[in-house]
């Protein structure tokens, strides 16, 4: 019976396949086969044995259920895998499996192969999301909206700026994941405490050749495990990505509030139900799920940090949490990336409400522009700031339009004509270089 929601509610088939038990077994068999091949080439084991091991290094022959059956007796998963593997090899080839290796040579190296596959999927999704965000940035390059700081109306910006900002951040995550991959996806065939003692004088050659066969960079040095700073960096990178998706989700959810309603995620009014008791509800459940699951991914990163300081050459405290942490974070991040891609494609920008909200403060959002203009005309920047501030407070307290209050102020009207004052309250002409900035982001990301 399924227990974890990953089993029945969250995650894509392709990412789950990376972390399935069958896949894990297959990767371990591939590592054992690579060790045998390297040792066969060096004459350490008979080449015919190495060839037989490589022929049978598949779950077509080595069955997961058989390995589990043996593990129930041995209470050691790698020993069980080796025994199940040896059983299917012809002749005495099985005697040469795992020759000179330790369990974590197999566990950590095979895990690197899984990470490699997972990162390939995540990078593809990140690029897709980035491209969706740049499309939205282009579409809304001139969609003027209110900018908010501290949750309060600031000055105008554009929705193109918002989408371009997120796209740029996603690109940084793509770059982070690529560089992290080089440090994470490594191989290790170094024996019980990293000295290669059981491998003999050709230990370094075996270590390097296995990495070459598997397409992984061999570690420079290890003890019994690949050092967990690599894995913690990976988990931290996943958490960073999740927090960016969380940030996007919070903005969409906030902008979907009934009283704001500038953005709205897809809602199928013909079938979808928002509440079991309130028939009118149109809740932002997609982005809420993104925000919620991002917390799990962030927490998992903190747990992996505790796996860096193991006792001396190694203890077992990293093993049990990592069986949960790595698959869970990869599956959940892949899941919320899929949600974010779909959410962006179907996101609605309600222009009418965007324009309504620009007018909400009755011109107060143009106070900066008036202040800068007065300073340019000779009033002096500090004086202009105080004059406009007092007018703004008066407009706020008396619920009047700022332009009206300014037009009655003698200090202001010494420097401005009525026509000039009118022009200062055209929101669309006070977005600075926003369109150019958006173009710069789009053009830069196109070349990535």
Provide the greatest CA pair distance for the chain: 103
Full DSSP string of 182-203: HHHSEE----TTSS-GGGGGGH
Q: Phi and psi of 30, rounded to 5°?
A: -65, -35
Beta-strand runs (E) in 123-207: 144-149, 152-158, 186-187
φ, ψ (nearest 5 deg) of residue 377:
-85, 0
The residue annotated as part of the active site, out of 58, 270, 275, 320, is 275
Q: What is the pLDDT of residue 281?
A: 85
pLDDT at 7: 86
pLDDT of residue 319: 92
Work out whether strand 348-349 and strand 217-218 pair parallel, antiparallel, or are unpaired.
Answer: unpaired
Q: Which residues pair with 144 in a beta bridge?
A: 158
Please give the share of the chain, as a percent, with pLDDT higher than 70.
Answer: 100
Q: Which CATH architecture has domain 102-267+280-360+441-448?
A: Up-down Bundle (1.20)
Q: Is 4 a catalytic residue?
A: no
DSSP 8-class letter at 140: T
Asked if 310 and 339 touch (Cβ cutoff 8 Å), the reply is no
Helix (H) or strand (E) holding 264, with range, is strand 263-264
Res 177: pLDDT: 98
Which of the residues 4, 140, 150, 294 is marked catalytic?
150
Q: What is the dihedral of CA 284, 118, 16, 34, to 10 degrees?
A: 180
Domain 20-99 of CATH type 1.10.275.10: yes
Cβ contacts of residue 433 below 8 Å, gap of 6+? none
Fold of 364-424: Ribonucleotide Reductase Protein R1; domain 1 (1.10.40)
- How far apart are the C-alpha atoms of 272 and 281, rounded to whole Å? 10
**Domain parsing of the chain, residue ranges:** 20-99, 102-267+280-360+441-448, 364-424
Active site residue 150: yes
Residues 277 and 327: their CA atoms lie apart, in Å, by 37
Of 337, 318, 340, the residue nearest 329 (C-alpha):
337
pLDDT tens, residue order, the chain (448 aa): 788 988 889 999 999 999 999 999 999 999 999 999 999 999 999 999 999 999 999 999 999 999 999 999 999 999 999 999 999 999 999 999 999 999 999 999 999 999 999 999 999 999 999 999 999 999 999 999 999 999 999 999 999 999 999 999 999 999 999 999 999 999 999 999 999 999 999 999 999 999 999 999 999 999 999 999 999 999 999 999 999 999 999 999 999 999 999 999 988 888 888 888 888 989 999 999 999 999 999 999 999 999 999 999 999 999 999 999 999 999 999 999 999 999 999 999 999 999 999 999 999 999 999 999 999 999 999 999 999 999 999 999 999 999 999 999 999 999 999 999 999 999 999 999 999 999 999 999 998 8
DSSP 8-state assignment for residue 219? P
Per-residue pLDDT tens digits for 245-264? 999 999 999 999 999 999 99
Q: Helix H segments across 256-401? A: 285-305, 319-345, 351-358, 367-376, 381-398
């Amino acid at each position: 019976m399924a227990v974890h929601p990953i089993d029945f509610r969250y995650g894509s088939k392709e990412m789950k396949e990376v972390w399935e038990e069958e896949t894990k077994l297959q990767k371990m068999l591939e590592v054992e086969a690579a060790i045998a091949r390297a040792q066969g080439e060096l004459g350490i084991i008979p080449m015919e044995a190495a060839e037989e091991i490589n022929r049978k290094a598949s779950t077509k022959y080595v069955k997961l259920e058989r390995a589990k059956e043996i593990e129930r007796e041995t209470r050691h998963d790698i020993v069980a895998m080796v025994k199940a593997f040896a059983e299917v090899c012809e002749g005495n080839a099985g005697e040469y499996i795992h020759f000179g290796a330790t369990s974590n040579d197999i566990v950590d190296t095979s895990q690197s192969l899984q990470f490699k596959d997972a990162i390939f999927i995540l990078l593809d999704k990140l690029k897709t999301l980035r491209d969706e965000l740049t499309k939205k940035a282009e579409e809304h390059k001139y969609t003027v909206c209110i900018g908010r700081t501290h949750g309060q109306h600031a000055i105008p910006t554009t929705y193109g700026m918002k989408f371009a900002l997120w796209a740029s951040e996603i690109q940084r995550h793509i770059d982070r994941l690529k560089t992290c991959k080089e440090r994470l996806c490594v191989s290790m065939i170094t024996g019980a405490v990293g000295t290669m003692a059981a491998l003999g004088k050709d230990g370094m050659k075996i270590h390097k050749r296995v990495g070459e066969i598997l397409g992984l960079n061999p570690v420079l040095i290890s003890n019994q495990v690949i050092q967990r700073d690599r894995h913690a960096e990976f988990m931290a990178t996943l958490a960073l990505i999740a927090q960016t998706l969380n940030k996007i989700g919070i903005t969409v959810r906030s902008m979907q509030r009934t009283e704001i309603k500038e953005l709205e995620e897809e809602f199928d009014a013909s079938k979808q139900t928002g509440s079991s008791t309130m028939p009118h509800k149109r809740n932002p459940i997609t982005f809420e799920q993104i925000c919620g699951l991002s917390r799990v991914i962030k927490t998992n990163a903190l747990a992996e940090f505790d796996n860096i300081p193991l006792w001396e050459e190694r203890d077992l405290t990293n093993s049990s949490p990592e069986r949960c942490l790595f698959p869970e974070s990869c599956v959940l991040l892949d899941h919320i990336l899929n949600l974010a891609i779909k959410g962006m494609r179907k996101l609605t920008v309600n222009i009418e409400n965007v324009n309504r909200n620009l007018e909400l403060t009755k011109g107060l959002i143009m106070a900066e522009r008036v202040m800068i203009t007065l300073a340019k005309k000779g009033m002096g920047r500090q004086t202009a700031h105080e004059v406009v501030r007092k007018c703004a407070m008066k407009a706020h307290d008396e619920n009047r339009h700022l332009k009206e209050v300014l037009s009655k102020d003698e200090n202001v009207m010494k420097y401005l004509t009525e026509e000039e004052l009118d022009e200062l309250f055209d929101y669309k002409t006070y977005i600075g270089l926003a369109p150019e900035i958006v173009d710069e982001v789009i053009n830069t990301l196109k070349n990535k």
